[in-house]
Amino acid sequence: MAVPAPHPASAEPTAGFGFILKKAVISALVALVLFFLMIGIRTEAGSSGQLIYWTRFGELAAIVGAVFVGSIVIELLRRWIGPVGGVELPASVRGGFAVLGRLLAPALLIFALLVPVIFYKERYLLDLAILVMTYVMLGWGLNIVVGLAGLLDLGYVAFYAVGAYSYALLAQSGLPLPHLTDAFPYVAFSMEQLGPWAFWVLLPVSGLLAALWGVILGFPVLRLRGDYLAIVTLAFGEIIRLVILNWQDLTGGPNGISGIPRPTVFGIPLTPGEHGFAAMIGVPFSPTHRLVFLFYLILALALITNWVTIRLRRLPIGRAWEAMREDEVACRALGINITTTKLSAFAIGAMFGGFAGAFFATRQGFISPESFSFQESALVLAIVVLGGMGSQLGVALAAIAMIGGFELFRGLDQFRMLVFGGVMVLLMIWRPRGLIGHRAPTVFLQKRTEISASLVKEGHG
Amino acid sequence: MDYFFQQLINGLVLGSIYGLIAIGYTMVYGIVGMINFAHGDIFMIGGFIALITFLILVSIGLTFIPVILLLVLLVAMAVTALYGWTVERIAYRPLRQSFRLAPMLSAIGMSFVLSNFAQVSQGARVKPVPPIITGGYTLHDSGNFAVQLSNVQIVVVVTTVVLLAAFTYIVSRTRFGRDMRACEQDQTMAALLGVDVDRTISMTFVIGAALAAVAGMMYLLYYGLVDFFMGFIAGIKAFTAAVLGGIGSLPGAMLGGLAIGLIETFWSAYFSVEYKDVAAFSILIIVLIFMPTGLLGRPEVEKV
């Protein structure tokens, strides 16, 4: 673990062009072997079910050539720039960055508030902004579990799914348990009685149900640590997805649920009719109103998540989370109840996931198990880690970068996930501790200062 | 009873495939302490390489099946091993000194890269192959149900056993195996005693990938198809197997693989096919509640 690897540049300081060439030739040869079968030969099932194949040696040659040239360029750049991280910025520049850093969060907030005003005409951008804010909220929610409590959760999407399905099922059919309603007619009320208030009543219900599932997951994994915890949360996420996929009577299986009620502005529907929101405030109806409303709704939900997190960090429970992340054994020795600490972290993280899920369901109007795959969990976790685990601003920036970047690659079509995965690897190599390299500790002695992120532990759970 | 024995055979065959993949997870975990999320996709690449090699060999006129299978096995192992080496070199080695989550996310990214590389280069549709090994034996026929043992199943189990024997020999008797076990215990000390840690770790990935390639080829022979998405599910289940057996323990990985294979098969046979994965994952969770380090794992020592 602790073996210092010799830096490639310092190991061969005087190696000349021959060395670079040799390295490039080796890279090209490796690429040739790797890609000869996978790219050079293309297989496809023919019309009669028989496999046929044809060769693509042109593409193969192009890619091997690209690897050869790329290897030379990278090696030259490495010589030219020198070892990574060796650049020391002058104090004045660093001071400027610090000021900018302090201004960044308020500036982002003001910008977020103004997004619907600036992009009112651009439906696509508004939609994208809503998507980004959903991931910011999910990132902040997961940040409570991973960043603060140090519990590695690979199945966060399960709570997102629980929230979405809770809202969708309850809003559509009330209590979807026919036997129960036969036995207890007084509980058999339909959600239609709630009318336009359905979303506002069911939003907290969805969050609470997700929190309940957080406790259900948290309970068996109390004793697990590290990667055992990771795999159990992953298994849990898959179980939830598989149950949703296969319990066709309740969830509609792979077909999903459609016709989920849209949100209302506190009871006033966003419809063109005379009781609609537009008629109420006396402006002509426009479908963009709903987008603007949805954007402010998710912005508010995300900011609530952020505010609750910041407040919780100052409460005993939040401090217990961070203490547990730093050293669980010391925590127990000091009399902190690890059970409640872990369960509350899971529950609160899950609750915000549930809120986000309910919002997702009402925004889309349609949900299916496809939206809740492991890739979503990985994406949210990548946002949290890239944001620098525990840094609220970092998570927001990472969400904007990842989701926005993913949208930028939309033109690449089928290569999109390929590029996305590659970028994820490169970002991790470039900034293993995330975009924001500094943390403001919750507790300090005399003076509030920022510390390097590498001083913050990542927890054993 | 006959039905039970049939399911037992099927479960053991499936379990062998999971076990072969699980060894790759557990070896890498033992030596670098990270979950190699890309390993399932290495298995998928192994299946593709085997398929393409098979197609080429058949089209150049080879007809003797054992020779074809042997060549396919060798090519798949060699090329997939190079994939394993490259993935380690590009995505994991720069992060070896880093904190725990960074290599894991890098691995998840690499897994996306590999599966989408297969999708882009070979297309998204399922690739079927006609049965390559046919025939089999009827072990017992009670009139209404016959216990069948197909030749494919024999090939899968025999290959697994032979490879496991070779692998156990490598780990316990050779210079490389000793280096590997030394790096697992203490990398600094191993380096001081003249073990090339980088090379040992690279070799671990190479061997893990080669075993995954064999699993991919066996999967191709047994189910007769490959697709770019099969690595994810198989990878998760094999990792579940590794954890169930006690991650870091090599016999545990094989045991966990067999356990997952049997659970899945029996659950599909007696209860419902749809919930077989739910059953496997639930048993994982239940086992871990009572044995937090798996079946054969060493209990974690808490240092204060």
Note the ipTM here. Answer: 0.86
Contacts of B183 in chain A (CB under 8 A): none
> How far off is chain A from B128, nearest CA to CA, in Å?
7
The answer on A68 and A173 residing in a single domain is: no
Give the C-alpha separation, A284 to A396, whole Å. Answer: 35
The answer on A340 and A196 residing in a single domain is: yes
pLDDT of residue B193: 92
pLDDT of residue A6: 45
Q: Is residue B110 part of a domain?
A: yes
Secondary structure of chain A in the HEC alphabet? CCCCCCCHHHHCCCCCHHHHHHHHHHHHHHHHHHHHHHCCEEEEECCCCCEEEEECHHHHHHHHHHHHHHHHHHHHHHHHHCCCCCCCCCHHHHHHHHHHHHHHHHHHHHHHHHHHHHCCCCHHHHHHHHHHHHHHHHHHHHHHHHHHCCCCCCCCHHHHHHHHHHHHHHHHHCCCCHHHHHHCHHHCCCHHHHHHHHHHHHHHHHHHHHHHHHHHHHCCCCCCCHHHHHHHHHHHHHHHHHHHHHCHHHHCHHHCEECCCCCEECCEECCCCCCCHHHHHCCCCCCHHHHHHHHHHHHHHHHHHHHHHHHHHHCHHHHHHHHHHHCHHHHHHCCCCHHHHHHHHHHHHHHHHHHHHHHHHHHHCEECHHHHCHHHHHHHHHHHHHCCCCCHHHHHHHHHHHHHHHHHHHHHHHHHHHHHHHHHHHHHHHCCCCCCCEECCCCCCCCCCCEEHHHCCCCCC
Q: Is residue B300 part of a domain?
A: no
Q: Is residue A457 part of a domain?
A: no
The answer on A335 and A211 residing in a single domain is: yes
Put simply, whether A234 touches B (Cβ < 8 Å) is: yes
The answer on A229 and A160 residing in a single domain is: yes
How do strand B136-141 and strand B127-128 relate by DSSP bridges? unpaired
CA distances from B156 to B36, B69, B223 (A): 25, 12, 11
Q: Which residue of A has its CA nearest to B83?
A: A34
Q: Is residue A436 part of a domain?
A: no
Which 8-state DSSP code applies to residue B127? Answer: E
Q: Is residue A271 part of a domain?
A: yes
pLDDT of residue A184: 58
pLDDT of residue A8: 46
Could you state, in chain order, the average pLDDT of each consecutive group of 10 residues for chain B (304 residues)? 88 93 89 88 95 90 87 95 94 84 88 91 86 82 81 92 90 91 89 92 94 94 89 88 86 92 92 87 85 77 60
Q: Is residue B204 part of a domain?
A: yes
Q: Is residue B296 part of a domain?
A: no
Q: Is residue B146 part of a domain?
A: no
Q: Is residue A144 part of a domain?
A: yes
Q: Is residue B249 part of a domain?
A: yes
Domain boundary among A81, A101, A134: A81
| Residue of B99, B243, B277 with shortest CB distance to A242 | B277
pLDDT of residue A175: 53
Domain of residue B41, CATH code: 1.10.3470
The answer on A254 and A165 residing in a single domain is: yes
Please give the biggest Cα pair distance in chain A. 86
Q: Is residue B301 part of a domain?
A: no
Task: Give the count of domains, chain A.
Answer: 2
Residues 6+ apart with CB under 8 A from A77: none
Contacts of A51 in chain B (CB under 8 A): 51, 55, 127-129
pLDDT of residue B15: 94
pLDDT of residue A458: 67
Q: Is residue A420 part of a domain?
A: no
pLDDT of residue A251: 83
Put simply, whether A87 touches B (Cβ < 8 Å) is: no
Q: Is residue A38 part of a domain?
A: yes
Give the C-alpha separation, A366 to A257, whole Å. Answer: 6
> How far off is chain A from B3, nearest CA to CA, in Å?
26
Give the C-alpha separation, A205 to A166, whole Å. Answer: 8
Domain boundary among A384, A399, A433: A384
The answer on A29 and A171 residing in a single domain is: no
Give the C-alpha separation, B272 to B269, whole Å. Answer: 7
The answer on A58 and A168 residing in a single domain is: no
Contacts of A461 in chain B (CB under 8 A): none
**In this complex, do A34 and B187 lie within 8 Å of one another by their Cβ atoms?**
no
pLDDT of residue A195: 65
Q: Is residue B246 part of a domain?
A: yes
The answer on A266 and A199 residing in a single domain is: yes
The answer on A290 and A160 residing in a single domain is: yes
Q: Is residue A119 part of a domain?
A: no
Residue B252 identity (one-letter amino acid): G
**In this complex, do A37 and B59 lie within 8 Å of one another by their Cβ atoms?**
no
pLDDT of residue B196: 92
The answer on A195 and A76 residing in a single domain is: no
Q: Is residue A96 part of a domain?
A: no
Could you tell me the pTM of the whole model?
0.86
> Tokens 């920036």 sit at which residue?
A397
**In this complex, do A228 and B288 lie within 8 Å of one another by their Cβ atoms?**
yes
Task: Please report the sign of the dihedral spanned by the C-alpha atoms of residue A295, residue A299, residue A305, residue A308.
Answer: negative
Task: Give the count of domains, chain B.
Answer: 1
| Residue of B105, B293, B300 with shortest CB distance to A385 | B105
Give the C-alpha separation, A189 to A330, whole Å. Answer: 51
**In this complex, do B236 and A238 lie within 8 Å of one another by their Cβ atoms?**
yes
pLDDT of residue A65: 92
Put simply, whether A395 touches B (Cβ < 8 Å) is: no
**In this complex, do B117 and A38 lie within 8 Å of one another by their Cβ atoms?**
yes
Domain that includes residue B62, residue range: 2-139+151-290
**In this complex, do A228 and B292 lie within 8 Å of one another by their Cβ atoms?**
yes
Domain that includes residue A345, residue range: 126-384
**In this complex, do A429 and B240 lie within 8 Å of one another by their Cβ atoms?**
no
The answer on A282 and A194 residing in a single domain is: yes
Residues 6+ apart with CB under 8 A from B135: B150, B151
pLDDT of residue A12: 47
pLDDT of residue A304: 95
**In this complex, do B243 and A227 lie within 8 Å of one another by their Cβ atoms?**
yes
pLDDT of residue A1: 40
| Residue of A223, A236, A414 with shortest CB distance to B119 | A414
**In this complex, do A41 and B239 lie within 8 Å of one another by their Cβ atoms?**
no
pLDDT of residue B9: 92
Length of chain B: 304
Q: Which residue of B has its CA nearest to A241?
A: B278
Contacts of A1 in chain B (CB under 8 A): 33, 97, 187-188
The answer on A165 and A76 residing in a single domain is: no
pLDDT of residue A221: 82
> How far off is chain B from A268, nearest CA to CA, in Å?
42
Indicate the angle between helix axes B39-59 and B2-32, nearest 10 degrees: 110
Domain boundary among A316, A350, A384: A384
Low-confidence ranges of chain A (pLDDT < 50): 1-13, 86
